[in-house]
Structure 1
Amino acid sequence: MDDQIRKFERFRALHLSGVFVAPNPWDAGSARLLASLGFPTLATTSAGYAFSRGKLDSRAALDRDEILRNAAQIVAATDLPVTADLENGFGDAPRICADTLRMACAVGLVGGSVEDATGDPDAPIYETSLAVERIRAAAEAASDLPFLLTARAENYLWGRPDLTDTIRRLQAFSEAGAHVLYAPGLPDLQAIRTVCAEVDKPVNVVAGLVPPHHTVAQLAKAGVRRISTGGSLARAALGALMRAAEEIALHGSFDYAQHALPTPVIEGMMAPKPPDAPMQNKDRPDDPGSSQS
């Protein structure tokens, strides 16, 4: 628990020191790859995990046990703080959200998000009072744990582009005890700027979900404190796989291999470093966005 508390303190401090990026690995291997590039923290992705298992990213396809099992593997893969996508808490009742949060903390996570989406296409968003009670129950469970609770308002992902209601929900979630606020799918920088100005807690924004794709500098100027990538890195990896496979199937060529990471580079990333080991120059490219062949 001492190590988890140290990770929690690191994670909490990041939200007080300006903007940072929390990329989303979908398994232990992708977690180690991302950690090798010097990111300060990681976040899990239910979408990325679902795709890796040949499943849909849905409440019906994913259960709490497998999501937490995957999160535990990511936690064990690096010494970074990890926050998790906890879906809607895996149940409608507030007590289930509280139970999920305690279970998440028990596998070593230092944060997690709970959304107000129901999983029911006919009524996709919880009524506000129930949504708030669910966050309040999760916040009370977190009150004596090394755990940062993120509350998600899902209007824009479910065909309800109502900024006023989204802000009202986020404000209510903050009052209920959430530590971080998150409204995925906001349409533009002005909406993001407005949300950040109208709430009193750090705001997370997901990058790579819908265009336009803003830069870290633009989001920082808008007031964002945390940037996640959701399932976009997993989709980028699948895109590279599909392009390589199509090249083979359609052209009978293997030129894709010149862009693949060399095995020694991957093996270097997969071998965990001792705690507090300094990162060598060869471990971190000067430009994290550059390709390696």
Structure 2
Amino acid sequence: MNASPAAAAELRRLHDDPRLLQVVNVWDVASARTVAALPETLALATASHAIAATFGYPDGERIPIDLMLDMVGRIAAAVDVPVSADLEAGYGDPGETIRRAVGLGVAGANLEDELRPLPEAVAAVEAAVAAAEAEGVPFALNARTDAWLRGHDRPRDVWVADAIERGRAYLDAGATCVFVPGDFGEDVVAELVDGLGERRLSVIGLPSIPPPARLEELGVARISYGPYPQRLALGSLQDAAAYLYRGGVLPSGIRPLT
């Protein structure tokens, strides 16, 4: 099931829209259907860390690519909204990985640079964009730079400048927006928007990141939440199990969400 060009175009439009795109990350069909059932859900994103954990693998491309893509495809087939897949650094072949993801119905993806040398990272973005174009899909590529995650021990002005330089290069190579995950405040968000352009920055909802309404005012394109929705869900499960072990009983009115 090739990704619908209309779904991919809609995902691109949502990134360009003046409204902030909020995507709650999911990790299996049950979580995808649960979030997609909300009328506020305009698109979904998978979380590679959460999918890997589902199958007992650590994060960082340790899960076999076939297993990751199978779950991504199941999620895309289970919902009626566009799905953006977290495909880590491309599993050794970004172009081929994106081509396979498009064939499974995926409308967009994250692609990490792992702070590799810039020419190598740009080549990966170019390969991903070319692969989607060859399939006839206006793919929404969320090009991630790890300038903060792997380099925030550097002075702030250094890593911010690095993120902007890398992000501009990825946009020039055809990326839809630039994902700079990190736990930084509003002043850094404003610097990144100024350097990359409005509706070109994607962030993750960590404690120091401003709330969605303020991100929208600042010109941010997208916010996602990585593995944290899964952690919230599993934390609630663990708390419920502990309560039952203490002699508690299940409450009435449990919603049949799946």
Structure 1 length normalisation: TM-score?
0.79
Note the C-alpha offset of 1:261: 6.5
**Which residue matches 1:26?**
27
Q: For residues 165-176 of structure 1, what are the structure 2 equivalents within 5 Å? A: 165-176=162-173
Structure 2 residue runs of 5 or longer lacking an equivalent are 154-158
CA offset digits 1:206-234 (Å, max 9, x no partner): 11xx3225321011122111111111100
- Is the CA contact 1:186–1:192 (under 8 Å) kept in the aligned structure 2? no
- Is the CA contact 2:7–2:82 (under 8 Å) kept in the aligned structure 1? yes
SS in structure 2 opposite 1:174?
Answer: helix
**Which residue matches 1:225?**
221
| AA aligned opposite 1:40 | L
**Which residue matches 1:128?**
118
Note the C-alpha offset of 1:76: 1.2
- Is the CA contact 2:3–2:104 (under 8 Å) kept in the aligned structure 1? no
Question: Post-superposition, which runs of at least 4 consecutive aligned residues in structure 1 deviate over 4 A?
Answer: none
CA–CA distance in structure 1, aligned partners of residues 3 and 185 of structure 2: 39
Distance 1:190 1:261, change over 3 A: farther
Q: For residues 146-225 of structure 1, what are the structure 2 equivalents within 5 Å? A: 146=137, 147-161=139-153, 162-200=159-197, 202-207=200-205, 210-225=206-221
Q: Considering only aligned residues, what root-mean-square deviation do their CA atoms show, in Å?
A: 2.0
**Which residue matches 2:132?**
142
**Which residue matches 2:105?**
108
Q: Which structure would you say has the larger Rg? A: 1
**Which residue matches 1:45?**
47
Q: Quick check: 1:245 aligned with 2:217?
A: no
CA offset digits 1:71-100 (Å, max 9, x no partner): 011011111100100100111xxxx11111
CA–CA distance in structure 1, aligned partners of residues 31 and 215 of structure 2: 25
| AA aligned opposite 1:139 | V
Structure 1 residue runs of 5 or longer lacking an equivalent are 118-124, 271-293
Note the C-alpha offset of 1:101: 0.9
CA offset digits 1:159-178 (Å, max 9, x no partner): 43511111111111111111
CA–CA distance in structure 1, aligned partners of residues 182 and 225 of structure 2: 12
Note the C-alpha offset of 1:133: 1.4
Farther-moved stretch of structure 1 (160-169 vs 25-34):
160-169
| AA aligned opposite 1:109 | V
Structure 2 length normalisation: TM-score?
0.89
**Which residue matches 2:89?**
88
Q: Which has the higher contact order (CA 8 A, sep 6+)?
A: 2
Farther-moved stretch of structure 1 (231-240 vs 141-150):
141-150
Note the C-alpha offset of 1:103: 0.7
**Which residue matches 1:69?**
70
